[in-house]
Structures are given as C-alpha cells and as structure tokens.
Structure 1
Amino acid sequence: MTTEDGAAGEPLAGGMANAGDVFRRGTLVDRPAPRHAPALHAHLLALREHGFDAAPVPVGPAADGRERLTFIPGDVALPPFPPWAMTTAALTSVGALLRRLHEAGASVAAAPDAEWPRDLADPEGGTVMCHNDVCPDNVVFRDGRAAALIDFDLAAPGRPVWDVAMAARYWVPMLDPLSAATLSPEAPDVPARLRILADGYGLAPAERAVLPGVIEQATEICRAFVARRVADGDPVYREALAGRGGWRRWDRVQAWLTAHRGMFAAALSD
C-alpha cells in the first residue's frame, strides 16, 4: 500500500478479516475501519483514561473507510505457534491482561446507541465491553508475557466470563488432540492449562463453575460466524475451513468439549 504522502507501508501479518490490508507506517498502523469506529475509538480512549494502556490509541477520526492507530511493538504468535507462546508464563499473562481490560472497562459504559458487532458477542449480553477475539494474532508479547491487545473490531458488551471462554478456545487451546496437533507439536494438557488461564485471570468460583459450558456456547457462536462468512463466499474463510478439516473438525471439537465437560469442571474447582 502507498500512503497519502507516497510512502509505502509495511504489511503486517496475522488475522483473517483484514488479511493483506493492514500496514505499519512508522509509529502508526493504517487499517480498514469498522463501521462503528467512532464509538469504538471513544471507548479505547476512555479505557486509557481509566488506566488501561495496553491497547492501540486512535489517532484522529476514521477517514475514507480507514483508521490510524498507534503501533504497539512486540511479538505476535502465528501458527505453528513458537514455544514461547505456549509457556505457563505466557498463558498466565494472557489471563492477567484480560482481567486488566475488564477492570478498566467496568468503569467505562459502552455507548448505548452504538451498533456494536454481534458476530462473536455474548448472546446473553452484559455490561462490560469484551474483546471477543483474544486469539494469538491479537495479543502482543514482550519478554514472553502478554503486554497488549490489538484489533478490537469485534468488541461488544457481554459477561467477562464470555471473554475468558473465547480466550480459552485459542490459548489453552480447547481442541481435541487431533485438532491441537495442527497448531503445536506437543499435545497440551488441556485441563491444566484451562486452570492456569483461570488462575491468571483470577476467575471467581461462580464463573469457574459455568466456564466449561460457556466455552461450548462460544464454540457454537464461532462456528456460526465461520458458516456465515463461508456462505457469503469469503475466500479467506473458505480456504481456512477446507485447510482445517472442514465441518467434521468442528463436529469433533464440539463433541469432545461436551464429553469432557466434567473433567474441565474438576480441574477448575480443585
């Protein structure tokens, strides 16, 4: 991409929705703006005012369908995940960072008249703004620990435990062994890693009790999201679905989560 002053931007890897259309320009990131950019930008600025400095800062209003945000330096894990992304310290820090986001967000009311995206939002709603897409592509690390969250395009009000469930899907990850093997050569100890994430977040007992069920619910929502993108003919999602085992993989993951719900609940309550 060539920017307005003629300078070429550095393409940034990662993500699916805006793949190939996100560029770094010095200290800024130039990317497509979501439709609700004004409300989202106001929320990001309010979070910063309430002490959450681990998110990009909007620079000026969105124009011509694009936005500019401050670039956050660090490392982002892309599959196949590097060893540092799968450490206990990394997982704990993801939970702690998510807790910081929610604590700051509890003091920042989401704009009631904004059309927050429902793609991955908590179907039960809530009062705290959830990121909803805390996948490895959207977490910036420094020295092996989560330092910042990026890409808030899918953020929407919900329950904090919903965001934890979404993060668990990616970071534990909540996958059957066959599916997990495509991301990392070492089979993860899923119950132990789920407990580590919950401990890092400081999840309360009542939320721990419902977390396994919320993870199943979040998986269903994510499947529906992919199905809509595929039905709309999105080539990125069609290719990803075909390359990851198609709908049989989703069936396998959902059946595995349901079959092991008791094991996850026990790990969280020990």
Structure 2
Amino acid sequence: MTTEDETDGETLVGGMANAGAVRRRGAWVERPAPRHAHALHAHLLALQEHGFDAAPTPVGLTADGREQLTFIPGDVPLPPFAPWVLTTTALESVGILLRRLHAAGAAIAVDTDVEWPQDLADPEGGTMLCHNDVCPENVVFRDGRAAALIDFDMAAPGRPLWDVAMASRYWVPMLDPTSAAALHPGGLDASARLRVLADSYGLSPGERAELPGVIEQATEVCRTFVSRRVADGDPVYLQALADRGGWERWDRLQTWLTAHRETFTAALLD
C-alpha cells in the first residue's frame, strides 16, 4: 500500500521497524539501510545468480544511510487481513516460495565475518541465511499467490526449519483462537493449515516431528525481541503490545502451543 507524497515519492505503508521511512521513487524503493547492508546486498545478488528471482535487486547505498532496491509490484497484505490472504492457495504458495529461497540459499556460503542481526535469529545457528521474518507484510502477492519476499533486514544464519517455524507463526497462524481473531478471519484450523504449509514446503518426516517444538522456540525468541523493544521505549512496540493484549497474550499463546503440541505433531505426521 502507498500514500502519495508529491515532493518525495510515495511512502510505502506497512511493517513496524521502518514504519513511515520507506519510500518508492519510480522503479526503486529507498529505505533505512541496515548496518550489514553491504553483506546483505551481496547475498541478494547471489540468490539471483542461483535462480531465486523473487527478491528485490540491490541498486546502491546513499550517503545519508539509506539503501536503494528495485520495487516489486503486487499486493502486500496488511492487518487486519482480508480473507484471500488466508486461503489454502495463498498458504501453499508461501511454502513453495520459502522452499525456493532455501534451495538457492543452500548453495551460498554465509559470510561469517559479518555481524548478522540476532533479534530473530535461530539460537542454534546454521550454515544457511534464513529470512527470519516471512510475515504477510513481507510477502508480495500476484493473483492470490506469493510471488516475492521483501525486507531481508532480519536475515541471519540458521536452520531451514527455523524459517519454516517463523513463517508458521504468521501464516497458519500459530496463535491461540483469541489472539488469532484480532487480525485474522475466523474458523481457521491451525492443525490442518500447519500440515498444508509443511506439505507445500516439502518437510521430511523428521522435520515434521521437530516443527511444533521449533515453533515454541521461535515464539519465545519473538517474545524476547518484543520485550527488548518495549524496554527500550520503542513507541511502535509499546502501542502494539497494548493493542494486542499485553504480556497476558504472550502467556496465553505459549500455554496454548504447549497444550496442543501433540495435536500438531499428529496432524503433521498422519
């Protein structure tokens, strides 16, 4: 989504970390550059060399600390999410797109000298660069199917399964019914949708057995991330925490995940 600004291009709406700071200028997007932008841009170019054409192409860095990337046309879902965002077709396409990313990423050596962001990183590490934030606001759709991934700022080395777990949190969504109802259409079957994502990605039986536990681990990492932002006084995260039920919501979510672990595992393996 965009808002017009005649003097400075279009402000792209959505997301939390760079809210209001991302602008489109014709075929380019300008946004705040992460500290590791040089390494991230090199990785994005390497993904293209290995056949993954569903991410922005780096254009350059500006003197005032912004990065320029190619603009990818399409529809980017914003909350509260419309029914089409949570269709089985959309969910399957996210799994397929994530698998394509990982197939290309597995062939690219991760630069171990770079301080990759640890905010949402896999605590067990890994040899492949994961996106770590495949939420609806970071997926571009065309005709109801996921066509591209954007905003790789949180990318860091990890297990492919970690990326699937992170995506599951947003796309199933792996939320207790009360939390899910705040932003999503009603009546979503978490167990069935988790199976759809696992099938479309192509998880092995061993990975399926591990996934519910990794989702719980990812949820704890996300809670810690929010806690740090709130402790730092970040107004965006303070407001989001208040709007979404405070820490009670996180307690309820973690209890729900633990209580349903066996149900999720059975749905993945049956």
Do these two structures clear the TM 0.5 threshold for a shared fold by scoring above it? yes
Aligned amino acid, residue 137 of structure 2: D
Structure 1 gap ranges (5+): none
Q: Tell me, in whole angstroms, the C-alpha distance in 2 between the residues paired with 1:153 and 1:218.
A: 17
Q: Tell me, in whole angstroms, the C-alpha distance in 1 between the residues paired with 2:200 and 2:59.
A: 32
Deviations 1:23-63 (A, max 9, x none): 11101001000000000000000000100000000002353
Residue equivalent to 2:40:
40
State how 1:155-170 maps to structure 2 within 5 Å: 155-170=155-170
Q: Shift of residue 9 of structure 1?
A: 1.4
Aligned amino acid, residue 171 of structure 1: W
Q: Tell me, in whole angstroms, the C-alpha distance in 2 between the residues paired with 1:13 and 1:21.
A: 9
> Does structure 1 retain, via aligned residues, the 8 Å contact 2:129–2:156?
yes
Aligned amino acid, residue 28 of structure 1: W
Deviations 1:201-220 (A, max 9, x none): 00111110100000000000
Give the length in aligned residue pairs: 268
Q: Tell me, in whole angstroms, the C-alpha distance in 1 between the residues paired with 2:185 and 2:100.
A: 31
Distance 1:262 1:62, change over 3 A: farther
Distance 1:125 1:95, change over 3 A: same
> Does structure 2 retain, via aligned residues, the 8 Å contact 1:121–1:156?
yes
Runs of 4+ in 1 over 3 A off after TM superposition: none
Residue equivalent to 2:66:
66
Aligned amino acid, residue 253 of structure 1: L
Q: Tell me, in whole angstroms, the C-alpha distance in 1 between the residues paired with 2:254 and 2:97.
A: 27
Q: Tell me, in whole angstroms, the C-alpha distance in 2 between the residues paired with 1:191 and 1:114.
A: 38
Deviations 1:82-103 (A, max 9, x none): 1111100100000000000000
Residue equivalent to 1:209:
209
Deviations 1:218-262 (A, max 9, x none): 000000000000000000000000000000000000000000000
Q: Tell me, in whole angstroms, the C-alpha distance in 2 between the residues paired with 1:127 and 1:139.
A: 24
Residue equivalent to 1:149:
149
> Does structure 2 retain, via aligned residues, the 8 Å contact 1:140–1:146?
yes
Q: Shift of residue 164 of structure 1?
A: 0.2
Residue equivalent to 1:114:
114
State how 1:73-112 maps to structure 2 within 5 Å: 73-112=73-112
> Does structure 2 retain, via aligned residues, the 8 Å contact 1:208–1:269?
yes
Q: Tell me, in whole angstroms, the C-alpha distance in 2 between the residues paired with 1:201 and 1:51.
A: 17
CA RMSD of aligned residues (A): 1.4
Q: Shift of residue 128 of structure 1?
A: 1.0
Aligned amino acid, residue 222 of structure 1: C
Q: Tell me, in whole angstroms, the C-alpha distance in 1 between the residues paired with 2:199 and 2:110.
A: 27
3-state DSSP class of the match of 1:95?
helix
> Does structure 2 retain, via aligned residues, the 8 Å contact 1:37–1:62?
no
3-state DSSP class of the match of 1:60?
strand
Aligned amino acid, residue 148 of structure 1: A
Q: Tell me, in whole angstroms, the C-alpha distance in 2 between the residues paired with 1:113 and 1:261.
A: 37
> Does structure 2 retain, via aligned residues, the 8 Å contact 1:195–1:268?
yes
Q: Equivalent pairs: percent with the same residue?
A: 75
Q: Shift of residue 10 of structure 1?
A: 0.2
Larger deviation, residues 218-227 vs 57-66: 57-66
Larger deviation, residues 225-234 vs 185-194: 185-194
3-state DSSP class of the match of 1:129?
strand
Residue equivalent to 2:244:
244
The answer to whether structure 1 residue 13 and structure 2 residue 13 are counterparts is: yes
> Does structure 2 retain, via aligned residues, the 8 Å contact 1:33–1:65?
yes
Q: Tell me, in whole angstroms, the C-alpha distance in 1 between the residues paired with 2:206 and 2:62.
A: 40
Question: TM-score if structure 2 supplies the norm length?
Answer: 0.97
Larger deviation, residues 189-198 vs 62-71: 62-71
Question: TM-score if structure 1 supplies the norm length?
Answer: 0.97
Aligned amino acid, residue 206 of structure 1: G
